[in-house]
Amino acid sequence: MSKMKKKLKIYLSWAAVLVLFAACKKHEPVPSAIFYDQADQIARPAINTVFISPADKDKFNGATPSQMAAAFGSEMKGNLLALNPGYTTNLLGLTADQFIGVLSTDVLNASTTGKTTFYDGTNVLTGRALGDDVIDVELTLLFGGPDGHANPGLTSDHVNGNDVPFLTGFPYLANPH
Amino acid sequence: MKRKKVVVILSCALVAIAGIVLAADHNDAPAVKGQATDVTDLYVFQGQNTDNLVFVGSTQGLLAPGATPGAKFDPKTLIQFKIDNNGDNVEDLVIQAIYQDGKVNVFGPSRPSHTGARSKIEKEDFLGSVPVTPYGASHPIVVTSSNGIKLFAGPRDDPFFFDLDQFHMVVAGQASSFNNPGKDTFAGTNVLSIIVEVPKKLLHASSGKLGVWLTTSTQESGHAD
């Protein structure tokens, strides 16, 4: 074996070792070089489904909150007024611009110092509890007008709670059916 | 005239409700519909121990009982609670969950190395693993980490409630309003949930307020693992 060949053999063995290392690395539970791309997102219930046009739904699901108001604000206002052409203000006293201003940055606010509820008549957007009737809240804010009493047939679905009781402790959600 | 106005309002309502139906996010997303990445709902509320905050993230909605045993978390889908604790609507903390070999690995709460739509698993902040509670188990499997964070992963009753059937009636022009009482269409259906209960002190809310959102992300292709 020539000196050159020997050297090559040594290089090759090192290469084999490196390949082996690389192979081992592949079996790490969480490979470090991997990125994940956002596919879906939600914060407050039903924002996408109600206020985003069909063509933009996937785009909204790929968006991040800090970009939403600029990218979707005018579209959302247009859809609000299309849904309820008679919209003036709602139970929270918000004009269309103010309402969309709140909704178009879609994060679920949560208090760390007090009661957590979507809306209980006093606290507004301090969380979302399992029993919160978020559909009635949203229907009322959309259709109920300044006093919440307009379009009474449309401001509640009259389903006021879950079909099975929640658990008092962790994990809170009931066992599956 | 009045009648016409009512019809207009109703038609508008239908469209609005059409959106809400799939509510909260049930199947609102054409690109991810029916996949492991399809999120249904986010809940954030004070725990039974009021020093804690509970985060519930659910996926794969409207699972009938018969379909629930076959519903699985996906090892290439990263589920994240993103938490803004200073009011700028950019995540300061993330709690990440990803399935692997019968359990869900959880990372965080971690200051993310990457914010926005492209994420990395924050490996250094591995919190713990929780076995996925199998369908039919009599008790949920709960793991508590050394810093007091509780973890659950698995099928649950969908806590969402809404009269979807009456909505369909209204859409079809067969009804002009909701019924009283209504009927919960989501009764008897399940979701796959990640539930995490975190001591509030670990969340560092700057003024007693957080902004939270739930995301699912898909592993970029081109990685052999």
Contact call for B44 and A127, based on CB within 8 A: yes
Phi, psi of B42 (to 5 degrees): -120, 130
Q: Does B28 touch chain A (CB under 8 A)?
A: yes
Residue predicted with more confidence, B133 or B166: B133
| Contact between B209 and A111 (Cβ < 8 Å) | yes
N- to C-terminal Cα separation, chain A:
73
Task: Point out the residue among A61, A133, A162 whose CB comes nearest to the CB of B29.
Answer: A61
What per-residue confidence (pLDDT) applies to A86? 93
Instruction: Determine which helix (DSSP H) or strand (DSSP E) holds A25, and give its type and residue range.
Output: helix A3-26
Q: Kindly identify which residue of chain A lies nearest to residue B104, measuring between CA atoms.
A: A29
Q: Which run of H or E residues covers position A139? A: helix A134-143
Q: Chain A within 8 Å of B33 (Cβ-Cβ)? A: no
Task: Give the residue from chain B lying closest to A132, CA to CA.
Answer: B160
Chain B contact set for A43 (CB, 8 A): 42, 211-214
Best mutation target, A27, A40, A168, to test chain B (most B CBs within 10 A): A40
A24 CB-near residues (< 8 Å, 6+ apart): none
Residues of A in contact with B222 (CB under 8 A): none
Are A173 and B54 spatial neighbours (Cβ–Cβ below 8 Å)?
Answer: no
Instruction: Name chain A contacts of B53, Cβ cutoff 8 Å.
Output: 110, 112, 116
Partners of residue A46 in chain B, C-beta under 8 Å: 19-20, 22-25, 28
Q: Which of A49, A58, A168 is most worth mutating to test chain B (most B CB atoms within 10 A of its CB)?
A: A49
B212: left (phi over 0), alpha (psi -120 to 50) or beta: beta
Low-confidence stretches of chain A (pLDDT < 70) are 1-32
User: At B223, is the pLDDT very low, low, confident or very high (cuts 50, 70, 90)?
Assistant: low
Identify the pLDDT of residue B218.
97
Q: How far is B183 from chain A (nearest CA, A)?
A: 6
Question: Concatenated DSSP letters for B116-170?
Answer: SSEEE--GGGEEEEEEPPPTT-SS---EE-TTS-EEEEEEEE------HHHHHHH
Contacts of residue B142, Cβ cutoff 8 Å, sequence gap at least 6? A170, A171, B130, B150, B151, B152
**What is the per-residue pLDDT for B98?**
98
Convert the pLDDT of each residue in B168-191 to its tens digit.
676 566 877 889 999 998 999 999
Whether the CB of B103 is below 8 Å from some CB of chain A: the reply is no
- What's the pLDDT score for residue B24? 59
CB of B88 within 8 A of CB of A69? no
Is A37's CB within 8 Å of B182's CB?
Answer: no
CB-CB neighbors (< 8 A) of A152 in chain B: 177
pLDDT in tens, B109-158: 999 999 999 999 999 999 999 999 999 999 999 999 999 999 999 999 99
Q: From CA B147, how far away is CA A158, in angstroms rounded?
A: 42
pLDDT in tens, B19-43: 444 445 655 667 888 788 899 999 9
Could you tell me what percent of chain B has a pLDDT over 70?
83
The residue with greater pLDDT, B175 or B51, is: B51
Residue B79 at interface with chain A, using a CB cutoff of 8 Å: no
| Nearest CA distance, A72 vs chain B (angstrom) | 15
ipTM metric: 0.87
Extract the runs of DSSP E, i.e. beta strands, from chain A: 35-42, 108-111
Choose among A62, A99, A125: nearest CA to B44. Answer: A125
CB B99 within 8 A of CB B132: yes
| Residue for token pair 């939600």 | A42
Q: Is B45's Cβ below 8 Å from some Cβ in A? A: yes
Please indicate if any CB of chain A lies within 8 Å of the CB of B9: yes
User: 0.90 cut: is pTM over it?
Assistant: no
- CB contact under 8 Å between B23 and A42, yes or no, is no
Question: Contact at 8 Å (CB) between B96 and B71?
Answer: no
* More confident of the two residues B164 and A101: A101
Using CB atoms, pick whichever of A107, A163, A166 lies closest to residue B212. Answer: A107
Q: How confident is the model at residue B86 (pLDDT cuts 50, 70, 90)?
A: very high
How high is the mean pLDDT of chain B?
Answer: 88
